[in-house]
A = this chain, B = another copy of it.
Amino acid sequence: MKPLSIKDIAKKANVSITTVSFILNGKAEKMRISQDMITKVEAIIKEVGFRPNQVARSLRTGNTNTIGLIVEDISNPFFAAIARLIEDKAYKHGYKIIYSSTENNLDKAKGLIRMFKSRQVDGYIIAPMAGMEEDIRELLSARTPVVVFDRHLPGLEVSSVLVDNIKGTYMATDSLIVKGMKNIAFVTVDVEVEQIKDRYKGYEQALKANKIEINPKLCKLISFNNTADETTAELTQFFTDNPEIDAVLFATNYLAVRGLFSFREMNKKLNGSFKVIAYDDHDIFKLHSPTISAVDQPIEEIAENVINFVLKELASVDSFEKKELNNVVLSSRLIER
Protein backbone atom coordinates (compact mmCIF):
# COMPACT_ATOMS: atom_id res chain seq x y z
CA MET A 1 0.00 0.00 0.00
CA LYS A 2 0.99 3.54 -0.54
CA PRO A 3 2.75 5.31 2.28
CA LEU A 4 0.71 7.76 4.26
CA SER A 5 0.88 11.42 3.43
CA ILE A 6 0.47 14.48 5.52
CA LYS A 7 -3.09 14.62 4.27
CA ASP A 8 -3.95 11.32 5.85
CA ILE A 9 -2.59 12.47 9.14
CA ALA A 10 -4.56 15.68 8.93
CA LYS A 11 -7.72 13.76 8.23
CA LYS A 12 -7.14 11.34 11.09
CA ALA A 13 -6.57 14.22 13.46
CA ASN A 14 -9.36 16.36 12.08
CA VAL A 15 -7.05 19.26 11.48
CA SER A 16 -5.66 20.95 8.43
CA ILE A 17 -2.47 19.85 6.82
CA THR A 18 -0.93 23.15 7.78
CA THR A 19 -1.22 22.31 11.42
CA VAL A 20 0.40 18.97 10.84
CA SER A 21 3.15 20.55 8.81
CA PHE A 22 3.90 23.09 11.53
CA ILE A 23 4.05 20.41 14.14
CA LEU A 24 6.29 18.29 11.99
CA ASN A 25 8.69 21.12 11.53
CA GLY A 26 8.79 22.23 15.13
CA LYS A 27 7.06 25.46 14.27
CA ALA A 28 4.09 24.64 16.44
CA GLU A 29 5.35 26.81 19.25
CA LYS A 30 5.91 29.79 17.09
CA MET A 31 2.51 29.39 15.54
CA ARG A 32 0.99 29.05 18.99
CA ILE A 33 -0.76 25.82 18.29
CA SER A 34 -2.35 24.48 21.44
CA GLN A 35 -0.43 21.94 23.42
CA ASP A 36 -3.36 19.56 23.23
CA MET A 37 -3.36 19.65 19.49
CA ILE A 38 0.38 19.09 19.34
CA THR A 39 0.23 16.11 21.64
CA LYS A 40 -2.66 14.61 19.76
CA VAL A 41 -1.11 14.99 16.33
CA GLU A 42 2.24 13.75 17.51
CA ALA A 43 0.57 10.70 18.96
CA ILE A 44 -1.07 9.91 15.65
CA ILE A 45 2.14 10.42 13.77
CA LYS A 46 3.98 8.06 16.06
CA GLU A 47 1.17 5.55 16.04
CA VAL A 48 1.02 5.15 12.29
CA GLY A 49 4.75 5.67 11.87
CA PHE A 50 4.36 8.52 9.47
CA ARG A 51 7.50 10.01 7.94
CA PRO A 52 7.20 12.98 5.64
CA ASN A 53 8.23 12.45 2.07
CA GLN A 54 11.65 14.03 1.79
CA VAL A 55 11.47 14.32 -1.95
CA ALA A 56 8.39 16.50 -1.78
CA ARG A 57 9.92 18.50 1.00
CA SER A 58 13.06 18.97 -1.06
CA LEU A 59 11.16 20.09 -4.09
CA ARG A 60 9.39 22.64 -1.99
CA THR A 61 12.27 23.93 0.10
CA GLY A 62 15.07 23.51 -2.34
CA ASN A 63 17.30 21.58 0.04
CA THR A 64 17.83 17.89 0.16
CA ASN A 65 19.96 17.58 3.30
CA THR A 66 22.39 15.71 1.17
CA ILE A 67 26.08 16.36 0.70
CA GLY A 68 27.91 15.09 -2.35
CA LEU A 69 31.32 13.53 -1.76
CA ILE A 70 33.67 13.18 -4.69
CA VAL A 71 36.95 11.37 -4.27
CA GLU A 72 39.37 9.59 -6.52
CA ASP A 73 38.68 6.12 -5.23
CA ILE A 74 36.51 5.25 -2.26
CA SER A 75 38.29 1.95 -1.82
CA ASN A 76 41.60 3.66 -1.12
CA PRO A 77 42.02 3.29 2.65
CA PHE A 78 42.80 6.96 3.05
CA PHE A 79 39.56 8.06 1.40
CA ALA A 80 37.55 5.23 2.92
CA ALA A 81 38.58 6.25 6.42
CA ILE A 82 37.77 9.87 5.75
CA ALA A 83 34.46 8.99 4.13
CA ARG A 84 33.47 6.99 7.17
CA LEU A 85 34.27 9.81 9.56
CA ILE A 86 32.56 12.40 7.42
CA GLU A 87 29.50 10.26 6.96
CA ASP A 88 29.25 9.71 10.66
CA LYS A 89 29.37 13.38 11.57
CA ALA A 90 27.10 14.39 8.74
CA TYR A 91 24.55 11.83 9.88
CA LYS A 92 24.53 13.34 13.35
CA HIS A 93 23.62 16.67 11.84
CA GLY A 94 20.87 15.23 9.72
CA TYR A 95 22.80 15.13 6.48
CA LYS A 96 23.29 12.16 4.23
CA ILE A 97 26.32 11.58 2.08
CA ILE A 98 26.08 10.56 -1.51
CA TYR A 99 29.42 9.69 -3.00
CA SER A 100 31.18 8.69 -6.11
CA SER A 101 34.69 7.89 -7.26
CA THR A 102 36.18 9.78 -10.17
CA GLU A 103 38.73 7.06 -10.86
CA ASN A 104 40.91 9.97 -11.92
CA ASN A 105 38.75 10.38 -15.00
CA LEU A 106 37.94 13.98 -15.73
CA ASP A 107 34.83 13.23 -17.73
CA LYS A 108 33.43 11.14 -14.95
CA ALA A 109 34.29 13.85 -12.44
CA LYS A 110 32.52 16.53 -14.44
CA GLY A 111 29.58 14.23 -14.93
CA LEU A 112 29.36 13.67 -11.21
CA ILE A 113 29.13 17.33 -10.45
CA ARG A 114 26.38 17.76 -13.00
CA MET A 115 24.56 14.76 -11.63
CA PHE A 116 24.84 15.97 -8.06
CA LYS A 117 23.66 19.35 -9.16
CA SER A 118 20.58 17.92 -10.80
CA ARG A 119 19.94 16.02 -7.60
CA GLN A 120 20.13 19.26 -5.74
CA VAL A 121 22.72 18.29 -3.19
CA ASP A 122 23.12 21.04 -0.63
CA GLY A 123 26.88 21.01 -0.53
CA TYR A 124 29.99 19.40 -1.97
CA ILE A 125 33.07 17.82 -0.49
CA ILE A 126 35.63 17.25 -3.18
CA ALA A 127 39.12 15.85 -3.44
CA PRO A 128 39.53 17.58 -6.78
CA MET A 129 41.51 16.69 -9.85
CA ALA A 130 43.04 19.01 -12.39
CA GLY A 131 40.48 20.20 -14.90
CA MET A 132 37.63 20.64 -12.46
CA GLU A 133 38.36 24.32 -11.83
CA GLU A 134 35.60 25.62 -14.03
CA ASP A 135 32.97 23.32 -12.62
CA ILE A 136 33.85 24.17 -9.08
CA ARG A 137 33.86 27.84 -9.87
CA GLU A 138 30.35 27.51 -11.22
CA LEU A 139 29.18 25.94 -8.01
CA LEU A 140 30.76 28.71 -6.03
CA SER A 141 29.17 31.42 -8.08
CA ALA A 142 25.81 29.86 -7.31
CA ARG A 143 26.73 30.24 -3.64
CA THR A 144 26.80 26.50 -3.14
CA PRO A 145 28.92 25.34 -0.21
CA VAL A 146 32.03 23.57 -1.46
CA VAL A 147 34.98 22.31 0.52
CA VAL A 148 37.96 20.76 -1.19
CA PHE A 149 40.38 18.59 0.69
CA ASP A 150 43.55 16.62 0.17
CA ARG A 151 44.33 18.48 -3.01
CA HIS A 152 44.08 22.02 -4.13
CA LEU A 153 43.59 23.55 -7.51
CA PRO A 154 45.62 26.69 -8.07
CA GLY A 155 43.66 29.85 -8.61
CA LEU A 156 40.50 28.59 -7.01
CA GLU A 157 39.02 30.54 -4.14
CA VAL A 158 37.34 27.87 -2.15
CA SER A 159 37.33 26.55 1.40
CA SER A 160 39.92 23.88 1.82
CA VAL A 161 41.46 21.42 4.21
CA LEU A 162 44.96 20.56 3.20
CA VAL A 163 48.02 18.96 4.59
CA ASP A 164 51.40 20.51 4.18
CA ASN A 165 52.77 18.10 1.65
CA ILE A 166 56.00 19.96 1.08
CA LYS A 167 56.87 19.80 4.75
CA GLY A 168 55.95 16.13 4.87
CA THR A 169 58.36 15.00 2.21
CA TYR A 170 60.93 17.55 3.32
CA MET A 171 61.05 16.02 6.79
CA ALA A 172 61.18 12.55 5.37
CA THR A 173 63.95 13.32 2.92
CA ASP A 174 65.90 15.21 5.50
CA SER A 175 65.71 12.34 7.95
CA LEU A 176 67.18 10.06 5.32
CA ILE A 177 70.00 12.47 4.61
CA VAL A 178 70.77 12.75 8.31
CA LYS A 179 71.06 8.97 8.39
CA GLY A 180 73.76 9.28 5.75
CA MET A 181 71.82 8.17 2.71
CA LYS A 182 73.37 9.40 -0.51
CA ASN A 183 71.14 8.26 -3.35
CA ILE A 184 67.60 8.88 -2.34
CA ALA A 185 64.99 7.87 -4.89
CA PHE A 186 61.52 9.39 -5.14
CA VAL A 187 58.66 7.32 -6.52
CA THR A 188 55.52 9.18 -7.49
CA VAL A 189 52.43 8.98 -9.63
CA ASP A 190 51.55 10.92 -12.76
CA VAL A 191 48.38 12.56 -11.49
CA GLU A 192 48.54 16.26 -12.05
CA VAL A 193 47.55 17.68 -8.72
CA GLU A 194 49.27 20.25 -6.61
CA GLN A 195 49.45 17.87 -3.70
CA ILE A 196 51.51 15.33 -5.56
CA LYS A 197 53.74 17.98 -7.04
CA ASP A 198 54.26 19.45 -3.59
CA ARG A 199 55.47 16.14 -2.33
CA TYR A 200 58.10 16.27 -5.01
CA LYS A 201 58.99 19.82 -4.05
CA GLY A 202 59.59 18.84 -0.47
CA TYR A 203 61.96 16.14 -1.62
CA GLU A 204 63.72 18.54 -3.93
CA GLN A 205 64.04 21.27 -1.34
CA ALA A 206 65.47 18.95 1.27
CA LEU A 207 68.12 17.78 -1.17
CA LYS A 208 68.97 21.34 -2.13
CA ALA A 209 69.15 22.46 1.47
CA ASN A 210 71.68 19.74 2.05
CA LYS A 211 73.59 20.59 -1.11
CA ILE A 212 72.85 17.29 -2.71
CA GLU A 213 72.46 17.37 -6.43
CA ILE A 214 69.14 16.21 -7.81
CA ASN A 215 69.51 13.20 -10.02
CA PRO A 216 66.49 12.91 -12.34
CA LYS A 217 67.27 9.26 -12.84
CA LEU A 218 66.32 8.65 -9.24
CA CYS A 219 62.83 10.03 -9.66
CA LYS A 220 60.40 7.43 -10.92
CA LEU A 221 57.00 8.38 -12.32
CA ILE A 222 54.32 5.67 -12.26
CA SER A 223 51.14 5.86 -14.32
CA PHE A 224 47.94 6.11 -12.32
CA ASN A 225 46.27 3.72 -14.71
CA ASN A 226 48.72 0.95 -14.09
CA THR A 227 47.42 -2.21 -12.57
CA ALA A 228 48.99 -3.17 -9.28
CA ASP A 229 51.10 -5.80 -10.99
CA GLU A 230 52.35 -3.44 -13.64
CA THR A 231 53.47 -1.04 -10.98
CA THR A 232 55.30 -3.74 -9.10
CA ALA A 233 57.06 -4.79 -12.27
CA GLU A 234 58.08 -1.26 -13.17
CA LEU A 235 59.46 -0.71 -9.73
CA THR A 236 61.45 -3.91 -9.83
CA GLN A 237 62.92 -2.76 -13.09
CA PHE A 238 63.66 0.65 -11.68
CA PHE A 239 65.50 -0.62 -8.63
CA THR A 240 67.40 -3.18 -10.67
CA ASP A 241 68.54 -0.50 -13.11
CA ASN A 242 69.65 1.79 -10.31
CA PRO A 243 71.46 -0.31 -7.76
CA GLU A 244 73.14 2.73 -6.26
CA ILE A 245 69.85 3.75 -4.60
CA ASP A 246 70.16 3.48 -0.84
CA ALA A 247 66.82 4.99 0.19
CA VAL A 248 63.36 5.55 -1.30
CA LEU A 249 60.58 7.90 -0.52
CA PHE A 250 57.19 6.88 -1.91
CA ALA A 251 54.67 9.63 -2.65
CA THR A 252 51.59 7.58 -1.77
CA ASN A 253 50.86 4.61 0.42
CA TYR A 254 49.73 2.34 -2.35
CA LEU A 255 52.94 2.98 -4.26
CA ALA A 256 54.87 2.07 -1.13
CA VAL A 257 52.90 -1.14 -0.85
CA ARG A 258 53.77 -1.99 -4.44
CA GLY A 259 57.37 -1.16 -3.63
CA LEU A 260 57.36 -3.62 -0.78
CA PHE A 261 56.11 -6.26 -3.19
CA SER A 262 59.00 -5.46 -5.51
CA PHE A 263 61.57 -5.68 -2.77
CA ARG A 264 60.18 -9.01 -1.73
CA GLU A 265 60.34 -10.22 -5.31
CA MET A 266 63.89 -8.96 -5.69
CA ASN A 267 64.84 -10.31 -2.33
CA LYS A 268 66.12 -6.91 -1.46
CA LYS A 269 66.91 -6.42 2.20
CA LEU A 270 65.58 -3.34 3.89
CA ASN A 271 68.08 -2.40 6.54
CA GLY A 272 70.50 0.27 7.59
CA SER A 273 71.88 0.51 4.09
CA PHE A 274 68.54 0.61 2.28
CA LYS A 275 65.79 2.66 3.87
CA VAL A 276 62.19 3.20 2.87
CA ILE A 277 59.66 5.85 3.81
CA ALA A 278 56.02 5.83 2.75
CA TYR A 279 53.57 8.69 2.49
CA ASP A 280 50.38 7.96 4.46
CA ASP A 281 50.60 5.43 7.20
CA HIS A 282 49.10 1.96 6.99
CA ASP A 283 48.96 -1.11 9.19
CA ILE A 284 51.18 -2.83 6.68
CA PHE A 285 54.06 -0.54 7.53
CA LYS A 286 53.81 -1.31 11.21
CA LEU A 287 53.72 -5.04 10.67
CA HIS A 288 56.30 -5.33 7.95
CA SER A 289 59.65 -6.77 8.84
CA PRO A 290 61.40 -4.53 9.21
CA THR A 291 58.85 -1.86 10.01
CA ILE A 292 58.55 0.98 7.55
CA SER A 293 58.68 4.66 8.42
CA ALA A 294 55.86 6.82 7.16
CA VAL A 295 54.63 10.35 6.83
CA ASP A 296 51.30 10.22 8.58
CA GLN A 297 48.38 12.44 7.65
CA PRO A 298 45.96 13.42 10.42
CA ILE A 299 42.90 11.69 9.03
CA GLU A 300 40.55 12.53 11.86
CA GLU A 301 41.53 16.15 11.87
CA ILE A 302 41.01 16.32 8.13
CA ALA A 303 37.54 14.82 8.39
CA GLU A 304 36.66 17.00 11.33
CA ASN A 305 37.65 20.19 9.59
CA VAL A 306 36.01 19.25 6.34
CA ILE A 307 32.66 18.54 7.91
CA ASN A 308 32.82 21.59 10.13
CA PHE A 309 33.52 23.79 7.17
CA VAL A 310 30.66 22.42 5.10
CA LEU A 311 28.22 22.60 7.96
CA LYS A 312 29.27 26.14 8.65
CA GLU A 313 28.78 27.13 5.04
CA LEU A 314 25.54 25.23 4.86
CA ALA A 315 24.25 27.15 7.86
CA SER A 316 25.17 30.52 6.46
CA VAL A 317 23.98 29.83 2.98
CA ASP A 318 20.76 31.77 3.17
CA SER A 319 22.04 34.50 5.37
CA PHE A 320 23.16 37.54 3.50
CA GLU A 321 26.57 37.83 5.01
CA LYS A 322 29.26 37.53 2.52
CA LYS A 323 30.45 33.98 2.66
CA GLU A 324 33.86 33.73 4.19
CA LEU A 325 36.29 31.09 3.10
CA ASN A 326 37.67 28.61 5.57
CA ASN A 327 41.12 27.37 4.89
CA VAL A 328 43.41 25.29 6.99
CA VAL A 329 46.67 23.53 6.38
CA LEU A 330 47.33 20.68 8.75
CA SER A 331 50.68 19.15 9.46
CA SER A 332 51.67 15.64 8.85
CA ARG A 333 54.03 13.83 11.10
CA LEU A 334 57.02 11.68 10.33
CA ILE A 335 56.76 8.36 12.10
CA GLU A 336 60.21 6.88 12.24
CA ARG A 337 60.28 3.20 12.71
Contacts and interface: CB of A to CB of B under 8 A. Distances in A.
A97 interface: yes
A122 to B, nearest CB: 12
A245 interface: no
Interface string A44-66: 00000001111110110000101
A12 B88 CA distance: 45
Which residue, of A55, A58, A81, A264, has the highest number of chain B Cβ atoms within 10 A? A55
Contacts of A56: 59
Interface string A169-180: 000000000000
Contacts of A16: none
Which residue, of A1, A51, A66, A287, has the highest number of chain B Cβ atoms within 10 A? A287
A88 B105 CA distance: 12
A87 B59 contact: no
Place the interface of chain A in its size category. 35 or more
Interface string A238-273: 000000000000000000010011001000000000
A77 interface: yes
Interface stretch (A33-41, A111-119, A188-196, A320-328): A111-119
Nearest to A257: B283
Contacts of A7: none
B77 A84 contact: no
A260 B287 contact: yes
Copies of this chain, tallied across the complex: 2
Contact of A287 (B80, B103, B257): B257
A258 B225 CA distance: 32
Contacts of A83: 74-75
Contact of A75 (B1, B80, B142): B80
A77 B283 CA distance: 12
A96 interface: yes
Nearest to A264: B287
A54 B97 contact: no
A91 interface: yes
B97 A98 contact: yes
A331 interface: no
A289 B286 contact: no
B284 A283 contact: yes
Contacts of A52: 118
A225 to B, nearest CB: 15
24 contacts: A1-B142, A51-B114, A54-B120, A55-B119, A56-B59, A74-B83, A74-B84, A74-B87, A75-B77, A77-B77, A80-B80, A84-B101, A87-B99, A87-B100, A88-B103, A96-B119, A97-B100, A98-B98, A99-B99, A257-B283, A260-B287, A264-B287, A284-B287, A287-B288
Interface of A: 1, 3, 51-56, 58-59, 64, 66, 73-75, 77, 80-81, 83-84, 87-88, 91, 96-101, 103, 108, 114-115, 117-120, 142, 257, 260-261, 264, 283-284, 286-289
